Amino acid sequence: MLSSTVLLRCPRHRVFAQHPPVEVAVLLPTCQACSLRLLYHYHELHDGQIRLLQLLPGSHSSPIICSLTVVDIKHSPQYEALSYVWGDPSITEEIECDGRRLNVTVNLRDALRRFRYTDRVRLLWADAVCIDQANEAEKVKQVMMMGHIYWRAIQVTVWIGEDIEEDVKLGAHAAVRLMRSCIQEYEAIVSLYRDANKIPRIGSDAVPSGSDERWAWEALRRLLNRPYFKRVWVVQEVGLAREAIFYCGNLSFTRDELDEFANYLSNSGAILGQLFSIDSQQHWLMYQYGQATRGNLRIELGNDPKYAENFLDIMRLAKGLHCSDLRDAVYAFLGHPSAYKTKLLDVEPYICYPDNFFGRPTLIQANYTKTYGLKELYYDLAVAAVRTYDFGPKLFEYISHTEETIAEDYPSWIPRWNLSNEPTTFLLSPKVYYRASGRLTHTRFSIQPLSEPSSSETLPSQLHIQARFIDVICWVHPFPTESEFSVMPGANFGRERAPYDPDLNPLETLAGIFSYLRPELPNPHLHDDIDFATTIVAGLKRYEPGQRPVDENYEAHYADWCAYRIHKAVLAGPDFDEAVSKELDQKAGHEGREGRAERFALNAATACMERAFFCTEEGLIGLGPKCMKEGDECWIPRGARMPSVLRPVKGSGDHGCEDEPKMKVVGLAYIHGIMRGETVEGIGDQEWSEVAID
C-alpha cells in the first residue's frame, strides 16, 4: 500500500504533512527557479491505467501546485472526476505539476482554484491534465475508458464557471432560487395527483406577468444556456455519476435538483420551458445515461423488442451539442452501453456496466488521425449499425438533409450527425401508433459497392431496399422557426414587424393558401378541415403524456385548432371578419369542450418545426423534410413505420420501369390516411420494388 505522506522538499516550501484520505506519495523536487523552467513530461500508461491529479492544499490566491500519479483503474483509490468546459485552448495559465510547468486553460485553472482544499489534498481526475493530449494513441485509449472513469468516481464535481452576471437579478442565485421554487411546486402537485400522467399543465393564463418573475426566468435561462450545458462530453460525465454537484461561482446545486426541474418542464411547466427557451435536451440525455447504467429498466433497454435502444438512438438525441473536434460528437458516447451491443437485442452490456471496458469492443473505435474525417466516420458508423443491428428502414429515422447535403456526391443514406437543426424522426415514443407498412417485416438491407471504385474506397456504395411507391409530391410549403407557432404573450417581443406579417402566423397563412389550392386537388375526402388540422400535428397529441393519436377524439383536437386560430390572430393577426370569428368561437367550444390554444401550439411546433407541408398528385397531404421539392416521391420501405421522401437520381429508372430505380433519401414523412398500413393491406411480394439508394 502506498504511503499517504506528502513531502515538499523545495527549500522555499519546508512543509511536512500527513493526509490520511489519500493513499499516494508525492515528491516535488528542487525549487521553482530551476524546475519550473521545464515542461511537465508524461510517462507512458499501460492498459487499464489512468492518472490521478493530487491537488495540494492552498489558499484561493496561492499558486496551484499538484502532482500526477498512475494507478490501475480497477484498484484506484477514491477520487472525484471533474466536469467542465475547456474554454479557449489558445489562452492558458501555468500551474506547477511535480515541480514542472504544466499549461492549462483558464477555465480549468479557475476550477482547480475553486475546488482546492485549504488543509488537505484533493484527489481528482481531469481530462486535460490526466490525459497526455499530445499523444494520439494514448488519447484514443483513454477516451475509450472515460465512461469507466466517471462511473467509478465517488462524485462528479461540475464547474459551470464563475457567476458572470453583473445584475443580481440575472445572477446564479436568482436562477437557482427559482429552480428550487419550481421543484417545491412540482412536488406538491405530484403528491396531490399521485400520477404524473394526470398532472394538468400550466396554461397561458398562468404565465408569469410580473417583472420580478420574468427576471428570475431570464436568469434561469441564462444559467442553463451557459456553454457547459451545450457541451457533448458533459452527457456522459454527469450521466454516469453516482452523485454530481454543480458549482457556479460560490453557488451549488445537485443533479437531483436538476433532474426534478427537468421533470417539471416536461410535465406541468412545459409551456414555461417553451416561452423562456429553456432547452432540457442535455438534462434528459444525462438522465437516460443513468437509466441505462444504474436504473431498474436497463434490462428492457437491452433486449425488450419494444424498448431496446441502439447506439444511433443516443446519437440522435445528442444532435446539436457542442464539441471542438466534431468527431467527438460520436466518440463522446462510446461509453454508453448501447455502443457495446453485438446485436439489437443484447442485454449483456446493461447487466454489469464496468465489464464492458475489459474485452468487449464498441460498435466503432475512436480514431483521431488527421486523415480520418467526418465523412469516413459517419460512413463507418452507418455501415456498422446496418450490419450489427439489422434494423432495416429504422436507419431512415436518423437521416436528415439540407439542400446542400442532399446535392453532395456522398451517400444520402448516411446519417449526418453534424446537422443539428434538421429534425429526423417524428417518433418520440415506442408506443406511437405509426405503422405505414402494417405488420410486414423488413428485408435485410444490402450495402453494395459501386462498380468502379474511386480514390476513397470506403465511401462509394449503394443501399438496396424493398419499398412501395405511393405518389409524387406536387406542392411544398416550408415552415419557419418554432417560435413563430407560439401563442405566448411576448414570444415575438422586440421584433419590428408590420401590423400583420404572414410569417408571424404561419399556420393561418398556410390554411389560407391551402383553402385556395384544395379545390384543384383530387380526392377531396382526403384533405378536409379536420384532416388538415390533424396533419399539422402529425396525428399526435404530444402536449399530454403518452402521445395519443388525434383520432381518439377529433372533436377535441379541432376545438384546439379553432382556439389556436383565435388566440394567435389576437397576437399576430389577421383580423377575422365577424362571421369567421363567430364560427371559430362556436367550434372552439364545441359541445361544452373548451379548446386550448397552447395545447395545439405545442403539438404543432413539435411536428412542423423545420419541416414542410406538402400535397401529392393524388390529393394526399402530409409533413416532410424542409428541403424536399416538387417531383420528389413518397415511398414506404418494407417494414417501415413511416413513409420516406425519395428523390429520383437523374438518368436512372423510375417506379414504372423494369430497371431498378435509383433514389436519394431526403427524409421521413407523415402522410395523413396511410399511417396504419392502409396502402399495403393485402398486397403481395411482387408489388414491392427493388430500390437502390445512392
Task: Round to whole Å and give the CA distance between 339 and 312.
Answer: 9
DSSP code, position 352: S
| DSSP annotation string for 184-195 | HHHHHHHHHHS-
Please indicate, yes or no, whether residues 384 and 443 belong to a single structural domain of this protein.
yes
* For residue 1, pLDDT beyond 60: no
> How crowded is the C-beta side of 495, counted as CA atoms within 13 Å?
14
* For residue 10, pLDDT beyond 80: no
- Confidence band for 21, pLDDT divided at 50, 70 and 90: very low
600's grid cell: 395545439
Q: CA of 317: how far to CAs of 397, 450, 490, in Å?
A: 12, 32, 29
Question: Does residue 116 lie in a domain region?
Answer: yes
Please indicate, yes or no, whether residues 403 and 433 belong to a single structural domain of this protein.
yes
Domain boundary among 72, 106, 134: 134
Highest mean pLDDT among 31-45, 342-356, 531-545: 342-356
Please indicate, yes or no, whether residues 55 and 110 belong to a single structural domain of this protein.
yes
Please indicate, yes or no, whether residues 9 and 127 belong to a single structural domain of this protein.
yes
- 204 within 8 A of 488, measured Cβ to Cβ: yes
Question: Does residue 525 lie in a domain region?
Answer: yes
Least confident of 90-104, 209-223, 421-435, 576-590: 421-435
Query: What pLDDT sits at residue 127?
Result: 96
Highest mean pLDDT among 289-293, 339-343, 654-658: 339-343
* For residue 15, pLDDT beyond 80: no
Query: What pLDDT sits at residue 480?
Result: 81
Query: Residue 386 burial (CB < 10 Å; 0-12/13-18/19+)?
Result: buried
Q: Which residue has the higher pLDDT, 36 or 217?
A: 217
* Share above pLDDT 70 across residues of the chain, in percent, rounded to a whole number: 88
In three-state secondary structure terms, 33 is helix
Question: Does residue 687 lie in a domain region?
Answer: yes
Please indicate, yes or no, whether residues 691 and 591 belong to a single structural domain of this protein.
no
- 100 within 8 A of 31, measured Cβ to Cβ: no
pLDDT digits (tens, 9 = 90+) for 103-146: 999 999 999 999 999 999 999 999 999 999 999 999 999 999 99
Cell 397563412 belongs to which residue?
Answer: 509
Please indicate, yes or no, whether residues 89 and 103 belong to a single structural domain of this protein.
yes
Please indicate, yes or no, whether residues 576 and 586 belong to a single structural domain of this protein.
yes
376's grid cell: 469516413
Question: Does residue 143 lie in a domain region?
Answer: no
599: part of which helix (H) or strand (E)? helix 597-608
Task: Round to whole Å and give the CA distance between 338 and 387.
Answer: 15
Domain boundary among 94, 114, 134: 134
pLDDT digits (tens, 9 = 90+) for 56-84: 999 988 999 999 999 999 999 999 999 99
467's grid cell: 419499398
379's grid cell: 460512413
246's grid cell: 454543480
Query: What pLDDT sits at residue 279?
Result: 81
Question: Does residue 429 lie in a domain region?
Answer: yes
Q: Which residue has the higher pLDDT, 222 or 497?
A: 222
What is the average per-residue pLDDT within 340-364? 93
First to last CA, the chain: 61
- 635 within 8 A of 469, measured Cβ to Cβ: yes
Question: What residue type is assigned to position 342 of the chain?
Answer: T
Please indicate, yes or no, whether residues 468 and 559 belong to a single structural domain of this protein.
no
- Confidence band for 218, pLDDT divided at 50, 70 and 90: very high
pLDDT digits (tens, 9 = 90+) for 236-249: 999 999 999 999 99
- Confidence band for 545, pLDDT divided at 50, 70 and 90: low
Please indicate, yes or no, whether residues 617 and 604 belong to a single structural domain of this protein.
no
pLDDT digits (tens, 9 = 90+) for 155-174: 999 999 999 888 889 999 99
Please indicate, yes or no, whether residues 660 and 634 belong to a single structural domain of this protein.
yes
Least confident of 202-211, 392-401, 541-550: 202-211
CA dihedral sign of residues 266, 427, 433, 350: negative
Q: Which residues touch 359 (CB under 8 Å, ≥6 apart)?
A: none
Please name every residue paired with 449 in a beta bridge, in sequence order, or none if there are none. 461
Task: Round to whole Å and give the CA distance between 641 and 140.
Answer: 38
Question: What residue type is assigned to position 642 of the chain?
Answer: M
Residue numbers of the domain that contains 575: 497-609
Please indicate, yes or no, whether residues 466 and 518 belong to a single structural domain of this protein.
no
pLDDT digits (tens, 9 = 90+) for 417-458: 999 878 888 866 767 889 999 999 998 898 987 655 444 445
* Share above pLDDT 90 across residues of the chain, in percent, rounded to a whole number: 61
Q: Which residues touch 283 (CB under 8 Å, ≥6 apart)?
A: 258, 259, 261, 262
* For residue 30, pLDDT beyond 50: no
Domain boundary among 134, 157, 185: 134
Question: Does residue 204 lie in a domain region?
Answer: no
Q: What is the average pLDDT score of the chain?
A: 87
Domain count, the chain: 3
Question: Does residue 288 lie in a domain region?
Answer: no
Sequence-ordered alpha helix ranges (H) in 36-135: 106-115, 127-130
- Confidence band for 514, pLDDT divided at 50, 70 and 90: very high
Q: Look at residues 564, 606, 285, 309 and name the one whose alpha carbon lies nearest to residue 430.
A: 309
* For residue 544, pLDDT beyond 90: no
Q: pTM above 0.75?
A: yes
- Confidence band for 492, pLDDT divided at 50, 70 and 90: very low
pLDDT digits (tens, 9 = 90+) for 265-309: 888 888 888 788 888 888 888 988 988 998 887 888 888 887 889
Query: What pLDDT sits at residue 454?
Result: 44
Question: Does residue 22 lie in a domain region?
Answer: yes
- Confidence band for 383, pLDDT divided at 50, 70 and 90: very high
Please indicate, yes or no, whether residues 451 and 511 belong to a single structural domain of this protein.
no
